[in-house]
Amino acid sequence: MDYKLVAIDMDGTLLTPNLEISKKTIETARKVIDKKVIITLSTGRMYLAAIPFAKTLQLDVPLITCNGSLIRCAKTGKEYYKKTISKPYYEEIVKYCHDTKLSLSVYKDDDILIEDPENMHIHEQIDMAEPKIVENIYETFDDSVVKILISSRDRYALEHNVHRLYEIYKDKLTFYFSLPYFVEIVHKDANKRNALEFLANKFHIKKAEIISIGDNFNDMDMIQYAGLGVAMGNAPDYLKEVADYVTHSNDEDGVNYVLEKFILKKK
């Protein structure tokens, strides 16, 4: 099969445990691009946090960000696709978090809004961005809200309270339990699979001509959608079971191995 599009998750997949792209992967990615194969990033991170890595790979194509909520061009910033959270859901979730003493962050295009200054370091680490501190996040709604992040230092309180929220909104919104102390909430139709299908249609690429590579639950739908769905060696067993292929871990150049084996045809 001659693959034409490769969608790669970032954290735990493209990035090493040191949050870098290996030199070998950078070199191989450029060879793949020279063969006119499209490489894109498909990440839970916001657009601005993906851009430095897109530049490292010299990508000039649309990127899938915020777990499929937003697609923007790496080169021009042009917006192609957006799934936002509606005002009624936004206000209900914010009020619930205030009532249950859960911290929350609101993602709006290129901005992150927080109420608790102690959460600054979280976003500086995972989003590579400095959030804006607001007095009352409830009053900041507009039509650019692509993600709400709920967090708590008390894992039990987070799981207990978010489970109640999930039971109310599970048919209206999508919940991603990304890390032990974080829960991401996005539009019901916002996921990496739908965003990848949008890109495939845009570039007139068949599903069979797509490779998706990931390591976590939020990658499952795009791994099942692609012609070749690849799980990382460091992925949980449930993801490996649904994947077509399991590569090496992100600490062993797993992405590089896939690009060499299936695109460059190295043995």
Catalytic site residues? Answer: 9
Kind of pairing between the strands at 79-82 and 70-73:
antiparallel
How far apart are the C-alpha atoms of 138 and 22, rounded to whole Å?
Answer: 41
Residue 9: how many CA atoms within 13 Å on its side-chain side? 30
How far apart are the C-alpha atoms of 88 and 76, rounded to whole Å?
Answer: 32
Q: Which amino acid is at 237?
A: D
Q: Which amino acid is at 178?
A: S
How far apart are the C-alpha atoms of 103 and 97, rounded to whole Å?
Answer: 7
φ, ψ at 8 (rounded to 5°): -125, 125
User: In this structure, what token pair is assigned to residue 103?
Assistant: 């911290």
Residue 256, SS3 per DSSP: helix
H/E element, 126 = helix 120-126
Q: Which amino acid is at 61?
A: V
Are the C-beta atoms of 45 and 251 separated by less than 8 Å?
no
φ, ψ at 43 (rounded to 5°): -135, 160
CB within 8 Å of 3: residues ≥ 6 apart: 37, 209, 210, 211, 227, 228, 262, 263
